[in-house]
Amino acid sequence: MSRLIKPEGYKAVLGKHQTEQGIKLIKEFFQQNLATELRLSRVTAPLFVLKGLGINDDLNGVERPVSFPIKDMGEAQAEVVHSLAKWKRLTLADYEIQPGYGIYTDMNAIRADEELDNLHSLYVDQWDWEAVITEDDRTRAFLERVVRRIYAAILRTEFLACETYPELEPFLPEEIHFIHAQELLDKYPTMTAKEREDAISREYGAVFIEGIGCKLSNGEKHDGRAADYDDWSTVAEDGKMGLNGDILIWYPVLGHSIELSSMGIRVDKSALLRQLDLEGQEERKQLFFHQQLLAGKLPLSIGGGIGQSRLCMIMLHKAHIGEIQASIWPGKMRVECEEAGMELI
């Protein structure tokens, strides 16, 4: 069921022409900064992959991929990608990328099961990145260093946007705050996961919530994660579980938190086996990607995705992602958006 936030008195700061120019500016500037911060080289990525290889990502573990038959390959089924977490890791091995370096790509996807709202669209565009690490890098301290570098690139992009368009006022804090999902539950025990995200983001402005996917003291996960890419089950050096997380910011235009990136240190052999067992998905060990990982043919890595349209949306102070990208929206939502001052493309 689609849902819509209608900010009272909303009026877009920039017109359509300025918005299109701003989108180009932000995308080009941010990806160059991200590549510099993390030492990434751009590669070309697929829009779809063959079904049954275990390469496509399950995200929260329940989303259905868009699929179609390929006539010239005996009706073999292809799937439009959800994201490229596992494909990128295969590519790191194929390109023989060394520790301390990585790749990034423009990822385009269709997520047909998405609940449509101000932030979620059927069409997904993001910078997907992956870097090779060493065994010694599989720590929370290393994860947090990478998060700070990504956040530094986000801050520089905000500065550029506000310098280019003086009508825009910066709102992001200078520092990002770190908190584990269990600490967040302890802090707000009566709230839902989304309410906890809003509360902590409102308090700090920008936050990285760690341990997404592991079960908390209430027997629930803060949010779901598939078993075969992020490592959410390894106990880190501080005794807390999980080497992954989400970057969130407080977005004053909507009065809610927004997730900008889901990322993490990826599973090694032991974490993969453990997480498949925990999720009751041991049959996935027979898939191509999983066989490659279990055979030691894939490098240790860290990676994530950063929404392109979503980043542009917050940098240009828009209230709906449909003001940034062209997609399909329910007719009722389009009417309500127009009445509320949100001009969808």
Catalytic residues: 57, 111, 126, 246, 259, 262
Instruction: Map tokens 């905000």 to a residue.
Output: 158
Inter-residue contact 34 to 156 (CB < 8 Å) = no
Q: Cα(230)–Cα(157) distance, rounded to whole angstroms?
A: 27
Closest CA to 94 of 297, 304, 303: 297
Show Cβ contacts of residue 138 under 8 Å, excluding neighbours closer than 6 positions: 231, 234, 243, 265, 268, 300
On whether the CB atoms of residues 81 and 50 are closer than 8 A, the answer is: no
Q: Quickly tell me which residue has 């997404």 as its tokens.
A: 212
* 32 Cβ contact list (under 8 Å, min separation 6): none
Contacts of 77 (CB under 8 A, 6+ apart): 50, 51, 52, 67, 68, 69, 70
CB half-sphere exposure, 259, CA atoms < 13 A:
17
Contact (CB, 8 A) for 138 and 265: yes
Of the candidates 290, 263, 264, which has an alpha carbon nearest to the alpha carbon of residue 277?
290
> Quick one: residue 154, left, alpha or beta (phi over 0 = left, psi -120 to 50 = alpha)?
alpha
Asked if residue 310 lies in contact with residue 325, where contact means CB atoms within 8 angstroms, the answer is no
Closest CA to 164 of 24, 2, 10: 24
Q: Is 171 exposed, middle or buried (0-12, 13-18, 19+ CB in 10 A)?
A: middle
